[in-house]
């Protein structure tokens, strides 16, 4: 699977009452969602992630607060600050991702293209580099 990372603007339905973002399969989402999870209450100074997926697409949205995501793929390393509920970071394929600098109020929502499977994880960085070479 080719690796790619993209920051996507999510359409806001706004009026005098405030804002609403709606995401559904085939509707402002470039992949079908099978799983949703969210990360919150992250302790100060804690980083998460440190893995790649063999075959998974995810959309990460900081629906509250902020965090910093590093993505390593195709021999480059990118860094994104997620701090807006109307912005999603789409991560496709073989990407080594790390999540840092969670604000204490951060709620990071993740939409995923498949069910949880430990078999899809690469948790060892050297194994990721080897997989990348042969991808
Ligand atoms: P973990 O993979 O350590 O989270 P991260 O890589 O984002 O830091 O997951 C923490 C725990 O949650 C671990 O026991 C696996 C479990 N988990 C599920 O049961 N389902 C899921 O969809 C995810 C993402 C994790």
Distance 23 CA to ligand 1 centre (A): 23
CB-ligand 1 contact for 48 (6 Å cutoff)? yes
Q: In angstroms, rounded to a whole number, what is the distance separating the alpha carbons of residues 76 and 57?
A: 19
Q: Please tell me the predicted confidence (pLDDT) of residue 28.
A: 78
Give the Cα separation of 91 and 53 in Å (integer).
Answer: 10
What was the pLDDT predicted at 26?
A: 84
Give the number of residues written for the chain.
135
Catalytic residue ranges:
51
pLDDT bracket for residue 1 (50, 70, 90) = low
Mean pLDDT of the chain: 96
Query: Does the pLDDT value for residue 27 go beyond 90?
Result: no
For the Cβ of 51 lying below 6 angstroms from any atom of ligand 1, the answer is yes
Q: Which atom of ligand 1 is nearest to the CA of 51?
A: 6
What DSSP designation does 85 have? T
Name the residue with the closest Cα to ligand 1, atom 16.
116
Q: What is the mean pLDDT of the segment spanning 60-67?
A: 98
Burial class (CB within 10 angstroms; exposed 0-12, middle 13-18, buried 19+) of 62: buried
The CATH number of 4-12+22-134, from 3.90.1310.10, 2.60.120.10, 1.10.10.10, 1.25.40.10, is 2.60.120.10
Whether residue 8 is predicted with pLDDT greater than 80 in this model: the reply is yes
CA of 118 to the centre of ligand 1 (A): 9
Indicate which atom in ligand 1 lies nearest the CA of residue 37: 22
Tens digit of pLDDT for each residue in 86-127?
999 999 999 999 999 999 999 999 999 999 999 999 999 999
% pLDDT > 90, the chain = 93
pLDDT tens by residue, 41-59: 999 999 999 999 999 999 9
Beta-strand runs (E) in the chain: 4-9, 12-15, 18-21, 35-40, 48-53, 57-64, 67-73, 76-82, 87-92, 96-100, 107-112, 121-122
pLDDT score of 24 more than 80: yes
Q: Stretch 18-30: mean pLDDT, rounded? A: 91
Mutate to test the pocket of ligand 1, among 38, 40, 48 (most ligand atoms within 8 A of CB): 48
């Amino acid at each position: 699977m080719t690796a790619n990372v993209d920051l996507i603007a999510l359409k806001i339905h706004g009026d005098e009452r405030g804002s609403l973002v709606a995401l559904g399969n085939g509707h402002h989402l470039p992949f079908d969602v099978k799983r949703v999870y969210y990360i919150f209450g992250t302790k100060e100074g804690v980083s998460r992630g440190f893995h790649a997926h063999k075959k998974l697409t995810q959309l990460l949205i900081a629906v509250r607060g902020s965090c910093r995501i590093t993505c390593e793929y195709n021999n480059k390393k990118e860094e994104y600050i997620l701090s807006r509920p109307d912005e999603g970071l789409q991560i496709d394929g073989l990407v080594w991702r790390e999540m840092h600098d969670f604000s204490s109020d951060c709620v990071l929502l993740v939409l995923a293209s498949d069910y949880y499977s430990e078999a899809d994880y690469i948790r060892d960085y050297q194994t990721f580099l080897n997989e990348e070479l042969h991808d």
